[in-house]
Amino acid sequence: MTDFSSVFWDYYILIITVVSVIGCAVFLWTQSKTKVAVGPDGKVKTTGHVWDGDLADYDNPLPRWWMWLFYITVVFALVYLALFPGLGTKFGGLLGWTSSGQWQAEVKAADAKFGPLFAQYAAQPLEQVARDKRAVQMGERVYLNNCAQCHGTDARGARGFPNLADNIWFWGGAPEQIKASIVAGRNAQMPPMAAALGSPEDVTDVANYVLSLSNSTHDPVRAARGKEKFAACAGCHGIDGKGNPAIGARNLTEGGWLYGRTVASITEGINKGRYGVMPAFKGILTEAEIHLVSAYLLSLSQSPAAAAPAAAPAK
């Protein structure tokens, strides 16, 4: 990438731009000297190209009004390049305008306008902000701009991305836990467990037992056999399968499957393991924005619709 940040490219842009504009002006000037050529017989001369017997190709100059429009365009280009940064970084323009400077000015103006409102909500507890309709709407806009790419515009997630609109939280659903997830991000890893469980049959048995914990479709006979083997998974998920939010080990009795609630999808997770990363938004969002989006997500998990079971992700 250093090749493209070399000073050579500044001069390359400057020379190409200036030569092109001046070249257009010179070309226009030479063409403006051309006059209508009239032969001895008083007729306008042609280039000699004739089609269909009587369609001749004349060599007349451009109309003067058209020529002057081109001159005005050249003058406009020179004035624009003098005022704005169109010649690379070596000449920033007489007005000192930059796109980044304009953006910063707009951000500063927005902060001056909305800053007091953000500060007002940032000083309130999350539970209180989550009950404020206006604050929730503001948090939703922050969410749509930064989180919807993974979790969806309705916050119901997708395969591999948690549903944020229910009341199932892998890392805990308390206000401070939701906020901590956004601030610092999360790294979740389930190691492959096939070797610890034994044979492929044992893996299938445990998969059926796992599904039985949430009353999902399973084979009762295999689930009964898998219960004993599940002890290998208890270190993270607990002997009762209720998980450990401190390490992101999910509660297997709740449902809310990330990769599908079928024997095939659970078996795949046991054999290959799972790994998920949520990036940290500290430094990307302001503290007030994080506070608002946390309140928005908290409001979703507290809504009546959050208690309704979501459809299982596709296999």
Span 154-166, pLDDT tens digits = 999 999 999 999 9
Question: What are the DSSP E strand ranges found in the chain?
Answer: 46-51, 55-58, 186-190, 274-278
pLDDT at 257: 87
Domain for residue 95, yes or no?
no
| Residue at a domain's end among 27, 60, 83 | 83
Q: Do the bridges between strand 46-51 and strand 55-58 make them parallel or antiparallel, or are there none, so unpaired?
A: antiparallel
Can you tell me which residue has the tokens 């010649």? 87
Task: Kindly state whether residues 153 and 226 are assigned to the same domain.
Answer: yes
| Residue at a domain's end among 83, 117, 144 | 83
DSSP 147: T
Task: Kindly state whether residues 77 and 211 are assigned to the same domain.
Answer: no
Residue 174, CA distances (Å) to 140, 230, 248, 276, 295 in order? 19, 28, 14, 21, 11
Count: domains in the chain:
2
What residue numbers bound the domain in which 171 lies?
126-307
Can you tell me which residue has the tokens 């030569």? 19
Q: What is the domain-level CATH number for residue 164?
A: 1.10.760.10
Task: Kindly state whether residues 46 and 135 are assigned to the same domain.
Answer: no
- Residue 282 phi, psi dihedral angles, 5° rounding: -70, 125
Q: Which amino acid is at 112?
A: A
Q: Is 254 helix (H, G, I), strand (E, B) or coil?
A: coil
pLDDT at 4: 59
Per-residue pLDDT of the chain in tens (315 residues, 90 and over written 9)? 455 567 788 888 889 999 999 999 999 888 888 777 777 777 777 777 888 878 888 877 778 898 899 999 999 999 999 999 888 777 888 998 988 999 999 989 988 998 899 999 999 999 999 999 999 999 999 999 999 999 999 999 999 999 999 989 999 999 999 999 999 999 989 999 999 999 999 999 999 999 999 999 999 999 999 999 999 999 999 999 999 998 989 899 987 788 988 999 999 999 999 999 999 999 999 999 999 999 999 999 887 666 555 444 443
CB 296 within 8 A of CB 139: yes
Task: Kindly state whether residues 165 and 271 are assigned to the same domain.
Answer: yes
Domain for residue 168, yes or no?
yes
Q: 51: which 2 tokens?
A: 């089609």
Task: Kindly state whether residues 205 and 284 are assigned to the same domain.
Answer: yes
* Dist. CA 243–CA 263, nearest whole Å: 20
Task: Kindly state whether residues 152 and 267 are assigned to the same domain.
Answer: yes
Query: For the whole model, what pTM was predicted?
Result: 0.69
